[in-house]
Protein backbone atom coordinates (compact mmCIF):
# COMPACT_ATOMS: atom_id res chain seq x y z
CA UNK A 1 0.00 0.00 0.00
CA UNK A 2 1.38 3.42 -1.02
CA UNK A 3 2.18 6.17 1.53
CA UNK A 4 -0.55 8.32 -0.02
CA UNK A 5 -3.23 5.66 0.56
CA UNK A 6 -2.05 5.08 4.13
CA UNK A 7 -2.16 8.81 4.85
CA UNK A 8 -5.61 9.08 3.27
CA UNK A 9 -7.00 6.21 5.36
CA UNK A 10 -5.46 7.71 8.51
CA UNK A 11 -6.97 11.13 7.79
CA UNK A 12 -10.40 9.65 7.05
CA UNK A 13 -10.29 7.68 10.27
CA UNK A 14 -9.30 10.84 12.15
CA UNK A 15 -12.16 12.85 10.65
CA UNK A 16 -14.59 10.00 11.35
CA UNK A 17 -13.47 9.88 14.99
CA UNK A 18 -13.91 13.64 15.44
CA UNK A 19 -17.38 13.56 13.85
CA UNK A 20 -18.48 10.64 16.03
CA UNK A 21 -17.25 12.46 19.12
CA UNK A 22 -19.20 15.56 18.12
CA UNK A 23 -22.41 13.58 17.52
CA UNK A 24 -22.02 11.79 20.89
CA UNK A 25 -21.72 15.17 22.62
CA UNK A 26 -24.85 16.40 20.81
CA UNK A 27 -26.77 13.31 21.94
CA UNK A 28 -25.83 14.06 25.55
CA UNK A 29 -27.33 17.55 25.24
CA UNK A 30 -30.10 17.14 22.67
CA UNK A 31 -32.30 20.01 23.82
CA UNK A 32 -29.38 22.45 23.94
CA UNK A 33 -28.26 21.27 20.50
CA UNK A 34 -31.75 21.83 19.12
CA UNK A 35 -32.02 25.35 20.55
CA UNK A 36 -28.57 26.26 19.21
CA UNK A 37 -29.40 24.97 15.73
CA UNK A 38 -32.75 26.75 15.84
CA UNK A 39 -31.15 30.18 15.49
CA UNK A 40 -29.25 29.08 12.37
CA UNK A 41 -32.35 27.28 11.06
CA UNK A 42 -34.50 30.44 11.28
CA UNK A 43 -31.79 32.61 9.74
CA UNK A 44 -31.14 30.28 6.80
CA UNK A 45 -34.86 29.76 6.28
CA UNK A 46 -35.48 33.54 6.20
CA UNK A 47 -32.75 34.11 3.61
CA UNK A 48 -33.86 31.20 1.40
CA UNK A 49 -37.54 32.14 1.47
CA UNK A 50 -36.80 35.77 0.60
CA UNK A 51 -34.58 34.68 -2.29
CA UNK A 52 -37.20 32.18 -3.48
CA UNK A 53 -39.94 34.82 -3.38
CA UNK A 54 -37.66 37.28 -5.18
CA UNK A 55 -36.97 34.73 -7.94
CA UNK A 56 -40.69 33.96 -8.16
CA UNK A 57 -41.60 37.64 -8.43
CA UNK A 58 -39.07 38.12 -11.20
CA UNK A 59 -40.47 35.07 -13.00
CA UNK A 60 -44.04 36.37 -12.61
CA UNK A 61 -43.20 39.82 -13.97
CA UNK A 62 -41.24 38.30 -16.84
CA UNK A 63 -44.27 36.17 -17.72
CA UNK A 64 -46.54 39.23 -17.69
CA UNK A 65 -44.20 41.08 -20.03
CA UNK A 66 -44.01 38.12 -22.39
CA UNK A 67 -47.81 37.96 -22.53
CA UNK A 68 -47.76 41.41 -24.18
CA UNK A 69 -45.32 40.26 -26.84
CA UNK A 70 -41.60 40.81 -27.18
CA UNK A 71 -42.04 43.35 -29.99
CA UNK A 72 -44.05 45.86 -27.94
CA UNK A 73 -42.36 49.30 -27.87
CA UNK A 74 -43.15 52.35 -25.74
CA UNK A 75 -42.58 55.91 -26.94
CA UNK A 76 -42.63 57.95 -23.74
CA UNK A 77 -41.84 61.55 -22.74
CA UNK A 78 -38.57 62.09 -20.88
CA UNK A 79 -35.03 60.75 -21.35
CA UNK A 80 -34.28 57.06 -20.99
CA UNK A 81 -32.24 57.73 -17.84
CA UNK A 82 -35.19 59.57 -16.31
CA UNK A 83 -37.53 56.71 -17.31
CA UNK A 84 -35.25 54.17 -15.64
CA UNK A 85 -35.46 56.16 -12.40
CA UNK A 86 -39.26 56.01 -12.58
CA UNK A 87 -39.85 59.47 -14.09
CA UNK A 88 -40.80 60.61 -17.57
CA UNK A 89 -44.49 59.77 -17.50
CA UNK A 90 -45.46 62.98 -15.71
CA UNK A 91 -44.68 66.40 -17.24
CA UNK A 92 -42.34 66.99 -20.16
CA UNK A 93 -43.38 66.85 -23.81
CA UNK A 94 -46.56 65.28 -25.13
CA UNK A 95 -47.13 63.73 -28.51
CA UNK A 96 -49.75 64.48 -31.16
CA UNK A 97 -51.16 63.15 -34.44
CA UNK A 98 -48.19 64.51 -36.34
CA UNK A 99 -45.85 62.21 -34.38
CA UNK A 100 -48.12 59.22 -34.95
CA UNK A 101 -48.22 59.88 -38.69
CA UNK A 102 -44.44 60.28 -38.85
CA UNK A 103 -43.96 56.86 -37.23
CA UNK A 104 -46.62 55.30 -39.49
CA UNK A 105 -44.85 56.57 -42.60
CA UNK A 106 -41.75 54.61 -41.64
CA UNK A 107 -43.73 51.43 -42.60
CA UNK A 108 -42.17 49.38 -39.83
CA UNK A 109 -45.16 48.98 -37.50
CA UNK A 110 -47.94 46.42 -37.50
CA UNK A 111 -49.90 48.37 -34.85
CA UNK A 112 -49.61 51.86 -33.42
CA UNK A 113 -51.78 53.15 -30.58
CA UNK A 114 -51.56 56.69 -29.16
CA UNK A 115 -52.83 56.94 -25.59
CA UNK A 116 -54.67 59.52 -23.52
CA UNK A 117 -55.15 58.38 -19.95
CA UNK A 118 -57.19 59.43 -16.95
CA UNK A 119 -55.43 57.74 -14.05
CA UNK A 120 -57.11 56.83 -10.76
CA UNK A 121 -60.66 57.51 -11.91
CA UNK A 122 -63.66 56.53 -9.81
CA UNK A 123 -65.98 54.24 -11.79
CA UNK A 124 -69.35 52.92 -10.68
CA UNK A 125 -71.38 49.90 -11.70
CA UNK A 126 -74.74 48.67 -10.52
CA UNK A 127 -73.32 46.82 -7.50
CA UNK A 128 -70.08 48.52 -6.52
CA UNK A 129 -67.48 51.16 -7.38
CA UNK A 130 -63.76 50.94 -8.09
CA UNK A 131 -60.68 52.96 -9.02
CA UNK A 132 -59.63 52.47 -12.64
CA UNK A 133 -57.25 53.87 -15.25
CA UNK A 134 -59.32 54.97 -18.24
CA UNK A 135 -57.34 54.54 -21.44
CA UNK A 136 -58.44 56.35 -24.57
CA UNK A 137 -56.91 54.90 -27.72
CA UNK A 138 -57.69 53.64 -31.21
CA UNK A 139 -58.71 50.14 -32.21
CA UNK A 140 -55.04 49.13 -32.55
CA UNK A 141 -54.69 49.04 -28.76
CA UNK A 142 -56.21 45.55 -29.04
CA UNK A 143 -53.26 43.91 -30.88
CA UNK A 144 -50.76 46.14 -29.05
CA UNK A 145 -51.77 44.67 -25.66
CA UNK A 146 -52.82 41.28 -27.09
CA UNK A 147 -56.28 41.79 -25.60
CA UNK A 148 -58.64 38.84 -25.93
CA UNK A 149 -62.41 39.05 -25.67
CA UNK A 150 -64.18 36.94 -23.07
CA UNK A 151 -67.69 38.07 -24.03
CA UNK A 152 -69.18 40.79 -26.20
CA UNK A 153 -67.01 42.49 -28.83
CA UNK A 154 -63.88 44.61 -29.12
CA UNK A 155 -63.53 48.25 -30.10
CA UNK A 156 -63.55 48.88 -33.86
CA UNK A 157 -63.08 51.74 -36.34
CA UNK A 158 -66.78 52.67 -36.26
CA UNK A 159 -66.55 53.33 -32.52
CA UNK A 160 -63.61 55.61 -33.21
CA UNK A 161 -65.22 57.54 -36.06
CA UNK A 162 -68.61 58.02 -34.36
CA UNK A 163 -67.14 58.90 -30.94
CA UNK A 164 -69.31 56.16 -29.42
CA UNK A 165 -69.39 56.21 -25.64
CA UNK A 166 -68.55 52.54 -25.32
CA UNK A 167 -66.05 50.75 -23.11
CA UNK A 168 -64.14 47.52 -22.56
CA UNK A 169 -63.61 46.25 -19.00
CA UNK A 170 -61.71 43.28 -17.57
CA UNK A 171 -63.35 40.17 -16.16
CA UNK A 172 -62.13 41.14 -12.68
CA UNK A 173 -63.69 44.59 -12.92
CA UNK A 174 -66.94 43.21 -14.34
CA UNK A 175 -67.24 40.85 -11.38
CA UNK A 176 -66.53 43.62 -8.89
CA UNK A 177 -68.85 46.23 -10.40
CA UNK A 178 -71.68 43.95 -11.60
CA UNK A 179 -71.17 40.69 -9.64
CA UNK A 180 -70.63 38.70 -12.83
CA UNK A 181 -69.32 39.00 -16.36
CA UNK A 182 -72.75 38.35 -17.89
CA UNK A 183 -74.36 41.08 -15.80
CA UNK A 184 -71.80 43.63 -17.01
CA UNK A 185 -72.31 43.17 -20.74
CA UNK A 186 -74.50 45.91 -22.34
CA UNK A 187 -74.78 47.71 -18.99
CA UNK A 188 -73.64 51.30 -18.47
CA UNK A 189 -70.64 52.22 -16.37
CA UNK A 190 -70.37 55.64 -14.75
CA UNK A 191 -66.93 57.17 -15.42
CA UNK A 192 -66.53 60.56 -13.71
CA UNK A 193 -70.25 61.27 -14.15
CA UNK A 194 -70.33 60.13 -17.80
CA UNK A 195 -72.18 56.95 -18.83
CA UNK A 196 -70.44 54.51 -21.15
CA UNK A 197 -71.94 51.29 -22.50
CA UNK A 198 -69.92 48.13 -21.84
CA UNK A 199 -69.64 46.36 -25.20
CA UNK A 200 -67.07 43.78 -24.21
CA UNK A 201 -65.39 42.02 -21.31
CA UNK A 202 -61.73 41.13 -21.87
CA UNK A 203 -59.76 38.27 -20.39
CA UNK A 204 -57.44 38.88 -17.46
CA UNK A 205 -53.95 40.10 -18.36
CA UNK A 206 -52.46 40.92 -14.95
CA UNK A 207 -49.55 43.34 -14.69
CA UNK A 208 -48.39 44.92 -17.91
CA UNK A 209 -45.72 47.22 -19.20
CA UNK A 210 -44.43 50.11 -17.11
CA UNK A 211 -45.68 48.42 -13.94
CA UNK A 212 -49.38 48.97 -14.71
CA UNK A 213 -52.19 46.56 -13.91
CA UNK A 214 -54.01 45.86 -17.18
CA UNK A 215 -56.97 44.43 -15.26
CA UNK A 216 -57.64 47.88 -13.80
CA UNK A 217 -57.81 49.47 -17.27
CA UNK A 218 -60.99 50.58 -18.98
CA UNK A 219 -60.60 51.10 -22.72
CA UNK A 220 -62.68 53.72 -24.54
CA UNK A 221 -62.43 55.25 -28.05
CA UNK A 222 -59.81 57.98 -28.31
CA UNK A 223 -62.27 60.68 -29.40
CA UNK A 224 -64.67 59.77 -26.60
CA UNK A 225 -62.06 60.86 -24.07
CA UNK A 226 -63.03 64.49 -24.81
CA UNK A 227 -65.97 64.18 -22.39
CA UNK A 228 -63.64 62.96 -19.63
CA UNK A 229 -60.60 65.19 -20.07
CA UNK A 230 -59.58 68.33 -21.92
CA UNK A 231 -56.30 66.73 -22.88
CA UNK A 232 -55.76 66.66 -26.66
CA UNK A 233 -52.23 65.34 -26.78
CA UNK A 234 -50.95 61.84 -26.03
CA UNK A 235 -48.95 60.95 -22.97
CA UNK A 236 -47.49 57.96 -24.83
CA UNK A 237 -47.50 56.05 -28.10
CA UNK A 238 -47.43 52.26 -27.96
CA UNK A 239 -46.50 50.31 -31.07
CA UNK A 240 -45.52 46.90 -32.37
CA UNK A 241 -43.03 46.34 -35.16
CA UNK A 242 -43.83 44.18 -38.16
CA UNK A 243 -40.50 42.36 -37.89
CA UNK A 244 -39.37 41.60 -34.36
CA UNK A 245 -35.96 40.49 -35.63
CA UNK A 246 -35.02 44.10 -36.45
CA UNK A 247 -36.06 45.62 -33.13
CA UNK A 248 -32.94 47.72 -32.55
CA UNK A 249 -32.81 49.04 -36.13
CA UNK A 250 -36.51 49.94 -36.06
CA UNK A 251 -36.21 51.60 -32.66
CA UNK A 252 -33.39 53.72 -34.01
CA UNK A 253 -35.52 54.71 -37.01
CA UNK A 254 -38.27 55.93 -34.64
CA UNK A 255 -35.70 57.81 -32.54
CA UNK A 256 -34.17 59.47 -35.62
CA UNK A 257 -37.62 60.54 -36.85
CA UNK A 258 -38.65 62.06 -33.51
CA UNK A 259 -35.30 63.83 -33.17
CA UNK A 260 -36.27 65.97 -36.12
CA UNK A 261 -38.86 67.58 -33.87
CA UNK A 262 -37.69 67.04 -30.30
CA UNK A 263 -34.41 67.07 -28.40
CA UNK A 264 -32.86 63.71 -27.61
CA UNK A 265 -33.64 64.01 -23.89
CA UNK A 266 -37.30 64.90 -24.52
CA UNK A 267 -38.43 61.34 -25.21
CA UNK A 268 -37.55 57.66 -24.84
CA UNK A 269 -38.14 54.66 -27.08
CA UNK A 270 -38.14 51.55 -24.91
CA UNK A 271 -38.87 47.91 -25.63
CA UNK A 272 -39.78 45.10 -23.26
CA UNK A 273 -36.13 44.10 -22.80
CA UNK A 274 -35.22 47.63 -21.64
CA UNK A 275 -37.99 47.70 -19.07
CA UNK A 276 -37.42 44.12 -17.93
CA UNK A 277 -33.73 44.89 -17.42
CA UNK A 278 -34.62 47.86 -15.25
CA UNK A 279 -37.22 45.89 -13.29
CA UNK A 280 -34.68 43.08 -12.71
CA UNK A 281 -32.11 45.58 -11.46
CA UNK A 282 -34.59 47.21 -9.09
CA UNK A 283 -35.82 43.89 -7.71
CA UNK A 284 -32.23 42.69 -7.43
CA UNK A 285 -31.39 45.63 -5.17
CA UNK A 286 -34.59 45.22 -3.14
CA UNK A 287 -33.99 41.49 -2.75
CA UNK A 288 -30.39 42.13 -1.68
CA UNK A 289 -31.55 44.56 1.02
CA UNK A 290 -34.20 42.11 2.27
CA UNK A 291 -31.69 39.25 2.36
CA UNK A 292 -29.22 41.48 4.23
CA UNK A 293 -31.93 42.22 6.82
CA UNK A 294 -32.74 38.51 7.11
CA UNK A 295 -29.03 37.76 7.50
CA UNK A 296 -29.11 39.60 10.84
CA UNK A 297 -30.89 36.55 12.26
CA UNK A 298 -27.96 34.45 11.00
CA UNK A 299 -25.59 36.71 12.91
CA UNK A 300 -27.68 36.28 16.05
CA UNK A 301 -27.69 32.52 15.49
CA UNK A 302 -23.90 32.56 15.07
CA UNK A 303 -23.48 34.40 18.37
CA UNK A 304 -25.69 31.74 19.96
CA UNK A 305 -23.39 29.02 18.57
CA UNK A 306 -20.33 30.80 19.98
CA UNK A 307 -21.97 31.08 23.39
CA UNK A 308 -22.90 27.40 23.49
CA UNK A 309 -19.43 26.35 22.34
CA UNK A 310 -17.91 28.40 25.18
CA UNK A 311 -20.21 26.57 27.61
CA UNK A 312 -19.22 23.24 26.06
CA UNK A 313 -15.51 24.06 26.44
CA UNK A 314 -16.02 25.02 30.10
CA UNK A 315 -17.96 21.81 30.84
CA UNK A 316 -15.26 19.63 29.25
CA UNK A 317 -12.07 21.24 30.59
CA UNK A 318 -11.12 18.10 32.54
CA UNK A 319 -11.76 15.94 29.45
CA UNK A 320 -9.49 18.24 27.45
CA UNK A 321 -6.79 17.94 30.14
CA UNK A 322 -6.96 14.13 30.07
CA UNK A 323 -6.75 14.05 26.26
CA UNK A 324 -3.76 16.41 26.30
CA UNK A 325 -2.08 14.26 28.97
CA UNK A 326 -2.46 11.18 26.75
CA UNK A 327 -0.78 12.92 23.83
CA UNK A 328 -3.49 14.89 22.04
CA UNK A 329 -2.01 17.98 20.41
CA UNK A 330 -3.43 21.51 20.34
CA UNK A 331 -4.56 21.07 16.73
CA UNK A 332 -6.54 17.93 17.73
CA UNK A 333 -8.49 19.86 20.38
CA UNK A 334 -8.96 22.78 17.98
CA UNK A 335 -10.29 20.48 15.24
CA UNK A 336 -12.64 18.70 17.65
CA UNK A 337 -14.47 21.82 18.80
CA UNK A 338 -14.35 23.47 15.38
CA UNK A 339 -15.90 20.34 13.84
CA UNK A 340 -18.65 20.36 16.45
CA UNK A 341 -19.44 24.00 15.61
CA UNK A 342 -19.51 23.31 11.86
CA UNK A 343 -21.74 20.23 12.24
CA UNK A 344 -24.09 22.15 14.53
CA UNK A 345 -24.55 25.06 12.09
CA UNK A 346 -24.68 22.81 9.00
CA UNK A 347 -27.46 20.77 10.62
CA UNK A 348 -29.39 23.98 11.26
CA UNK A 349 -28.78 25.11 7.68
CA UNK A 350 -29.91 21.77 6.24
CA UNK A 351 -33.10 21.78 8.32
CA UNK A 352 -33.74 25.41 7.32
CA UNK A 353 -33.33 24.41 3.67
CA UNK A 354 -35.69 21.44 4.06
CA UNK A 355 -38.42 23.49 5.76
CA UNK A 356 -38.00 26.27 3.19
CA UNK A 357 -38.41 23.75 0.37
CA UNK A 358 -41.65 22.45 1.89
CA UNK A 359 -42.99 26.02 2.31
CA UNK A 360 -42.04 26.90 -1.29
CA UNK A 361 -43.88 23.80 -2.56
CA UNK A 362 -47.04 25.08 -0.86
CA UNK A 363 -46.55 28.69 -2.02
CA UNK A 364 -45.87 27.51 -5.59
CA UNK A 365 -49.54 26.58 -5.93
CA UNK A 366 -50.41 30.29 -5.74
CA UNK A 367 -47.17 32.04 -6.75
CA UNK A 368 -44.20 30.93 -8.94
CA UNK A 369 -41.59 30.94 -6.13
CA UNK A 370 -38.71 28.49 -6.52
CA UNK A 371 -35.31 27.59 -5.04
CA UNK A 372 -32.38 27.45 -7.45
CA UNK A 373 -29.00 25.69 -7.10
CA UNK A 374 -27.28 28.93 -6.08
CA UNK A 375 -29.69 29.32 -3.15
CA UNK A 376 -28.99 25.77 -1.95
CA UNK A 377 -25.21 26.26 -2.16
CA UNK A 378 -25.55 29.61 -0.40
CA UNK A 379 -27.58 28.10 2.45
CA UNK A 380 -25.14 25.24 3.09
CA UNK A 381 -22.07 27.41 2.52
CA UNK A 382 -23.17 30.27 4.76
CA UNK A 383 -24.17 27.97 7.62
CA UNK A 384 -20.78 26.20 7.40
CA UNK A 385 -18.89 29.51 7.32
CA UNK A 386 -20.81 30.69 10.38
CA UNK A 387 -19.75 27.49 12.15
CA UNK A 388 -16.10 28.22 11.33
CA UNK A 389 -16.21 31.93 12.19
CA UNK A 390 -18.12 31.64 15.46
CA UNK A 391 -16.58 28.31 16.47
CA UNK A 392 -12.92 29.17 16.02
CA UNK A 393 -12.62 31.39 19.14
CA UNK A 394 -14.04 28.83 21.63
CA UNK A 395 -12.07 26.07 19.88
CA UNK A 396 -8.86 28.10 20.13
CA UNK A 397 -9.48 28.70 23.83
CA UNK A 398 -9.92 24.96 24.39
CA UNK A 399 -6.74 24.14 22.44
CA UNK A 400 -4.62 26.57 24.46
CA UNK A 401 -5.54 25.08 27.85
CA UNK A 402 -2.53 23.62 29.68
CA UNK A 403 -3.03 19.89 30.49
CA UNK A 404 -2.12 20.19 34.21
CA UNK A 405 -4.35 23.26 34.78
CA UNK A 406 -7.20 21.63 32.88
CA UNK A 407 -7.05 18.45 34.97
CA UNK A 408 -7.07 20.50 38.20
CA UNK A 409 -10.11 22.53 37.09
CA UNK A 410 -13.17 22.18 39.31
Tell me: do 144 and 228 sit in the same domain.
yes
The answer to whether 170 touches 215, Cβ cutoff 8 Å, is yes
C-alpha to C-alpha distances, 11 to 21, 219, 334, nearest whole angstrom: 15, 74, 16
d(CA 160, CA 156): 7
pLDDT of residue 46: 84
What CA–CA distance (Å, rounded) separates 55 from 52? 5
Residue 290 and residue 234 in one domain: no
Residue 42: Cβ within 10 Å count: 19
- CA–CA gap between residue 239 and residue 104 (Å, rounded): 10
Residue 139 bridge partners (DSSP) = none
Q: Is residue 256 part of a domain?
A: no
Tally of domains in the chain: 2
pLDDT in the model for residue 105:
92
In a domain, 404, yes or no: yes
Q: Are residues 58 and 114 in the same domain?
A: no
Same domain, 226 and 283: no
Give the pLDDT score at 13: 61
Give pLDDT tens digits along the chain (410 positions).
Answer: 566 555 555 556 656 666 776 676 667 777 777 877 888 888 888 888 888 888 887 777 777 666 666 678 889 888 766 555 544 444 468 899 999 999 999 999 989 999 999 988 889 988 888 898 999 999 999 988 888 888 889 998 888 888 889 999 998 889 889 988 888 898 999 998 899 999 999 988 765 555 567 788 899 999 899 888 888 889 899 998 887 778 888 999 999 999 999 888 888 888 877 777 777 777 777 777 777 777 777 777 788 878 877 777 777 777 777 777 777 777 777 777 788 788 888 888 888 889 988 999 998 888 888 888 887 887 778 777 887 787 777 777 777 777 666 565 55
As a whole number of angstroms, the distance between CA 215 and CA 82 comes to 27
Residue 259 resides in a domain: no
Q: Residue 148: CB partners within 8 Å, gap ≥ 6? A: 202, 203
Specify whether 124 is located in the same domain as 233.
Answer: yes
Please indicate, yes or no, if residue 291 is contained in any of the structural domains: yes
Q: In this structure, is residue 156 part of a structural domain?
A: yes
Phi, psi (5° rounding) for residue 135?
Answer: -110, 115
User: What whole-number distance in Å separates Cα of residue 310 and Cα of residue 341?
Assistant: 11
pLDDT for 87? 46
pTM tops 0.75: no
Is residue 90 included in any domain, yes or no? no
Give the per-residue pLDDT at 1.
Answer: 54
Question: Cα–Cα distances in Å, from 158 out to 221, 309, 355?
Answer: 10, 80, 58
Per DSSP, the three-state class of 167 is strand
198 in the same domain as 145: yes
Q: Is residue 300 part of a domain?
A: yes
Residue 145: give the domain boundaries.
Answer: 110-238
Alpha helices in 131-227 (DSSP H): 141-144, 157-161, 171-178, 181-184
Domain assignment of residue 283, yes or no: yes
Amino acid sequence: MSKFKKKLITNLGYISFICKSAIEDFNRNRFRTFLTSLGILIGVMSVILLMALGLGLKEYINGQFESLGSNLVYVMPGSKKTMMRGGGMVGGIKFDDRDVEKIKRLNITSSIAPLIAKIGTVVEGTKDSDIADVIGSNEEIIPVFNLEISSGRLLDKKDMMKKNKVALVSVRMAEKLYQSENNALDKTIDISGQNFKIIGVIKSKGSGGMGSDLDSHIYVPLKSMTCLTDEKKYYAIYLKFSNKNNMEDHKQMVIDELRKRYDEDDFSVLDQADIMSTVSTIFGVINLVLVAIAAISLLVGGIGVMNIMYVSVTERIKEIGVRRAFGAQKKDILMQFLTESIILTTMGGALGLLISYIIVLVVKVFFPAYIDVFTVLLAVGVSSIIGIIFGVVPAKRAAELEPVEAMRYE
